[in-house]
């Protein structure tokens, strides 16, 4: 009898195995993909937005903006994105507990829709303030998704795949960066007339997530521990794992539920005061701080200016920028493949070691550039240093 039932179970197992992959894609396309996409698309229309800002100010006042205020306003447009990210990160915890992981990702698209609307109509309305507000809103969306998406995927994945599944967040970030750079090419949406559509194109990943994520299960851990719904938890596990034996995983979740009974979620400042968690919190602060302060995110907003100063021909600057995103995507894919074999600690040490090495090379190159070019200018009066 068992042999008769084996063939029908095999395609069912394959179908159920695809549910986890679809969950990863649905969460990622409107999650960290949006973060990387909105991080890089702002690079291509730099000069167009600056011209629009200056022209808008001239139409309002009759005078152009002072030269020093144009880059200042541009820097404000760029920096409002991480400011929104901070606000989104503070919202992510309460949203994940109150609404659940999946519903939080869905509700998060409200910020994307609002931002895309502001971007799309900013030029017609003659308002660069709409661009600023839109950047703040997509930043809030990125802050929420970067915190909720790894939580949702980590709780949905089986234990033996959690490391690789967690790495998919970085893969979608790098993929979003590359896609933003490609869509921002002059041949596509990077032209002087199409930049509002380029900024508003963040709506497309949001719509894809709204169409796909509702069809997939909620986090089993959230359903059992936060909602206390054992039946819904079991149904979600069956959809994610297929016909596998779920007794051990359910028992583990029940033990975690018992340990969390009567406790509330801690606030960030409470974590710093708990001595038992001091080492874990310090590790998170150091690792997160190094990642943010290495300048990796900032380079995508100013890549065109950097490559132009490096004397790359203007028609090739955008393609050089795509190379930076391609390198990050390749590194993320490689890390996802080897994380379970090499281990988290070794990957972190290797990554930070490479950052230190190349950061030193860049610093030395900049110092030599500043030292060499003035001398060259003295020898060649016709040469103008950048």
User: Which pLDDT belongs to residue 322?
Assistant: 80
Percent of the chain scoring above 70 in pLDDT: 85
Chain centroid to CA 155: how far?
19
CB 110 within 8 A of CB 57: no
Contacts of 26 (CB under 8 A, 6+ apart): 208, 209, 212, 213, 215, 216
Domain spanning 8-216+302-342: CATH 3.40.1480.10: no
> Considering the entire predicted model, what is its pTM?
0.78
Residue 200 has pLDDT above 50, yes or no: yes
Helix (H, G, I), strand (E, B), or coil: what is residue 157? coil
User: Which pLDDT belongs to residue 7?
Assistant: 46
Residue 379 has pLDDT above 60, yes or no: no
User: Which pLDDT belongs to residue 104?
Assistant: 94
The arithmetic mean of pLDDT across residues 268-286, rounded, is: 77
Residue 61 has pLDDT above 70, yes or no: yes
Q: Where is pLDDT greater, at 16 or 356?
A: 356
User: Which pLDDT belongs to residue 117?
Assistant: 94
Residue 272 has pLDDT above 90, yes or no: no
Buried b / exposed e over 118-135, threshold 16 CB at 10 Å, is bbbebbeeebbebbbbbb
CATH 1.20.1250.20-classified regions of the chain:
8-216+302-342
Confidence of residue 301 (pLDDT cuts 50, 70, 90): low
The arithmetic mean of pLDDT across residues 339-366, rounded, is: 80
Q: Where is pLDDT greater, at 102 or 185?
A: 102
| Distance in angstroms (rounded) separating the CA atoms of residues 243 and 224 | 20
Residue 295 has pLDDT above 80, yes or no: no
Residue-wise pLDDT for 68-81, tens only, equals 788 888 888 888 99
User: Which pLDDT belongs to residue 257?
Assistant: 79
User: Which pLDDT belongs to residue 6?
Assistant: 44
Lowest mean pLDDT across 98-112, 142-156, 180-194 = 180-194
**DSSP code for 65:** P
The arithmetic mean of pLDDT across residues 286-304, rounded, is: 70
Among 48-62, 113-127, 256-270, 312-326, the range of highest mean pLDDT: 113-127
Confidence of residue 249 (pLDDT cuts 50, 70, 90): confident
The arithmetic mean of pLDDT across residues 99-108, rounded, is: 93
| DSSP-assigned letters across all residues of 264-278 | -PPPHHHHHH-GGGH
| Distance in angstroms (rounded) separating the CA atoms of residues 106 and 212 | 10
| Distance in angstroms (rounded) separating the CA atoms of residues 56 and 195 | 16
User: Which pLDDT belongs to residue 311?
Assistant: 77
Confidence of residue 381 (pLDDT cuts 50, 70, 90): very low
């Amino acid at each position: 009898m068992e042999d008769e039932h084996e063939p029908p179970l095999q395609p069912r197992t394959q179908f159920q195995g695809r549910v986890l992959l679809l969950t990863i894609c649905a969460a990622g396309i409107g999650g960290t993909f949006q973060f990387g996409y909105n991080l890089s698309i702002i690079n291509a229309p730099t000069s167009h937005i600056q011209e629009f800002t200056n022209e808008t100010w001239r139409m309002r006042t009759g005078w152009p903006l002072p030269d020093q205020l144009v880059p200042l306003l541009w820097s404000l447009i760029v920096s409002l994105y991480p400011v929104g990210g901070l606000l989104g990160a503070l919202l992510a915890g309460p949203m994940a507990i109150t609404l659940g992981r999946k519903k939080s990702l869905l509700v998060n698209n409200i910020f994307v829709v609002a931002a895309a609307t502001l971007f799309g109509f900013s030029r017609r309305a003659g308002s660069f303030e709409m661009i600023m507000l839109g950047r703040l809103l997509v930043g809030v969306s990125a802050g929420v998704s970067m915190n909720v998406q790894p939580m949702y995927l980590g709780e949905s994945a089986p234990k033996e795949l959690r490391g690789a599944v967690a790495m998919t967040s970085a893969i979608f970030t790098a993929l979003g960066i590359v896609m933003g750079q490609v869509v921002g090419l002059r041949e596509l949406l990077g032209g002087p007339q199409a930049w509002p559509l380029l900024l508003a194109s963040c709506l497309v990943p949001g719509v894809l997530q709204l169409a796909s994520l509702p069809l997939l299960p909620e986090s089993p851990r959230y359903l059992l521990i936060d909602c206390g719904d054992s039946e819904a938890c079991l149904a979600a596990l069956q959809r994610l794992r297929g016909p596998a034996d779920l007794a051990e995983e359910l028992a583990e979740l029940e033990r975690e539920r018992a340990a969390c009974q009567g406790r509330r979620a801690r606030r960030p400042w409470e974590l710093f005061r708990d001595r038992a968690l001091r080492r874990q919190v310090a590790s998170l602060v150091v690792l997160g701080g190094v990642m943010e302060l290495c300048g990796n995110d900032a380079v995508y907003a100013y890549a065109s200016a950097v490559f132009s100063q490096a004397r790359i021909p203007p028609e090739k600057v955008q393609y050089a920028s795509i190379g930076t995103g391609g390198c990050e995507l390749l590194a993320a894919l490689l890390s996802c493949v080897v994380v379970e074999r090499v281990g988290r600690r070794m990957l972190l040490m290797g990554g930070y070691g490479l950052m230190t090495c190349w950061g030193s090379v860049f610093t030395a190159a900049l110092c030599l550039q500043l030292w060499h070019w003035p001398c060259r200018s003295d020898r060649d009066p016709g040469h103008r240093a950048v």
